[in-house]
């Protein structure tokens, strides 16, 4: 079974760290970046390393759609799942048009995330 490596880009530090810890208990490697620029920098320096990216839409330094565009330019194959508590229907349409794999509204349960990962695991095996 291929290792799942997740990059979480979310300015809600408690949420990102809690999600990272809970997924790590399932033998999933997680890294968290708390703003858009550091997330883009990580992808730039580690292109191809993330199995998938969980991206918040509302970040302190830039909007998630801008981050998504940079990520897709740097690593077009990586699935990016938008997880947001603030997204509109227009945001969802724009993200999906830019290549986001899915648009998920917060609050999101760990069960939803693990179901998503089960699907991704099936695709990467």
Q: Which domains does the chain have, with CATH numbers?
A: 4-121 (3.40.50.2300)
Query: What pLDDT is stored for residue 91 in this prediction?
Result: 93
The CA-atom distances, in angstroms, between 124 and each of 5, 27, 42, 65 are: 11, 16, 21, 25
Q: Residue 100 and residue 68: Cα distance in Å, rounded?
A: 8
pLDDT of residue 10 exceeding 80, the answer is yes
pLDDT tens-digit profile of 102-117?
A: 999 988 888 888 888 8
The CA-atom distances, in angstroms, between 27 and each of 2, 48, 59 are: 11, 19, 28
Q: Residue 12 and residue 25: Cα distance in Å, rounded?
A: 20
Query: What pLDDT is stored for residue 117 in this prediction?
Result: 81
pLDDT tens-digit profile of 11-54?
A: 999 999 999 999 999 889 999 999 999 999 999 999 899 999 99
| pTM attached to this predicted model | 0.91
Query: What pLDDT is stored for residue 75 in this prediction?
Result: 95
The CA-atom distances, in angstroms, between 54 and each of 4, 22, 24, 75, 121 are: 13, 14, 15, 14, 15
């Amino acid at each position: 079974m291929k290792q799942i490596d997740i990059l979480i880009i979310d300015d809600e530090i408690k949420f990102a760290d809690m999600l990272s810890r809970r997924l790590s208990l399932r033998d999933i490697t997680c890294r968290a970046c708390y703003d858009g620029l550091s997330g883009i920098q990580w992808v730039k320096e580690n292109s191809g390393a993330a199995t998938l990216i969980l991206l918040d839409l509302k970040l302190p330094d830039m909007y998630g759609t801008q981050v998504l565009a940079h990520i897709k330019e740097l690593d077009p194959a990586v699935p990016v799942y938008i997880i947001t508590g603030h997204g509109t229907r227009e945001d969802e349409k724009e993200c999906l048009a830019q290549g986001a794999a899915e648009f998920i509204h917060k609050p999101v349960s760990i069960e939803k995330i693990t179901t998503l990962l089960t699907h991704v695991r099936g695709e990467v095996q």
